[in-house]
Structure 1
């Protein structure tokens, strides 16, 4: 059986469904006295590409001058965290944030932003950067 035949046998709706993961935010759980989870979903290719473009600073000749990883991470959260919605005007008002980007920065610690970014990246098909999984070079005497 060819690979095409195998793919044709799969449920197309399930194949095209974006993976979802509930991620517990321990700091919020501790404050609330109950489990607080953020709903994270995979990004599609166009959204991922748009986010990557936002984080790149190009020079006049089109060469890359800088990559703003914080911008990439925050915009990944804005698109990949579906609950809570950082775009919710009530939530922004509660925390005194003029924009969704500002809200992310106000309520999440840098490590929490990194953790959610990693989870959304993994859901989107990127492998985890886990140094423990890489083979170690043997030391030669």
Structure 2
């Protein structure tokens, strides 16, 4: 059986299903006083590119001050549980947007969570060992 025949046998829903993973949140563990996991899911390559575009100014130069906002947007798009778009949660924390809620709940941990989401999505490049 060739590759095309094998691919035709794959269920379309299986291909479209996003992979998820539970990870420990140090920040939520501290806030809640008990071990707390969040559920993340992969983001598409297109969504990854859209979010990464925030890192560049109109001249195409990298804007390092946008790194935190970029991480927050990965959280908004990649965290499944808790749902950062939940109206009750947004209201409770007085957050105007899901991005604001991500900043309130995760603070500096947003970068670590974003890295996990990117890795789960298969979009993280492996660092190659530099040989002398």
Say yes or no: TM over 0.5.
Answer: yes
Q: Deviations over 1:10-44 (max 9, x none)?
A: 33322221100111213423543443211111112
- Contact conserved, 2:72 with 2:110, CA < 8 A, in 1? yes
**Structure 2 gap segments, 5+ residues each:** none
* Aligned-residue RMSD, C-alpha: 2.3
Larger RCO, structures 1/2 (Cα 8 Å, 6+ apart): 2
Q: Which residue of the other structure, out of 55, 67, 73, is the alignment partner of 1:69? A: 67
Q: TM-score, normalised by structure 1?
A: 0.75
- Contact conserved, 1:118 with 1:128, CA < 8 A, in 2? no
- After the TM superposition, which residues 1-141 of structure 1 pair with which residues of structure 2 at under 5 Å, given as runs? 1-58=1-58, 63-67=59-63, 68-110=66-108, 112-127=109-124, 129=126, 134-138=128-132
**Structure 1 gap segments, 5+ residues each:** none
Q: Aligned-pair distance for 1:77?
A: 0.9
Q: Which has the larger radius of gyration?
A: 1
Instruction: Name whichever of 112-121 and 96-105 sits farther off.
Output: 96-105
Q: TM-score, normalised by structure 2?
A: 0.79
Q: Whose strand fraction is larger, Structure 1's or Structure 2's? A: 1
Q: Aligned-pair distance for 1:101?
A: 1.8
Q: Whose helix fraction is larger, Structure 1's or Structure 2's? A: 2
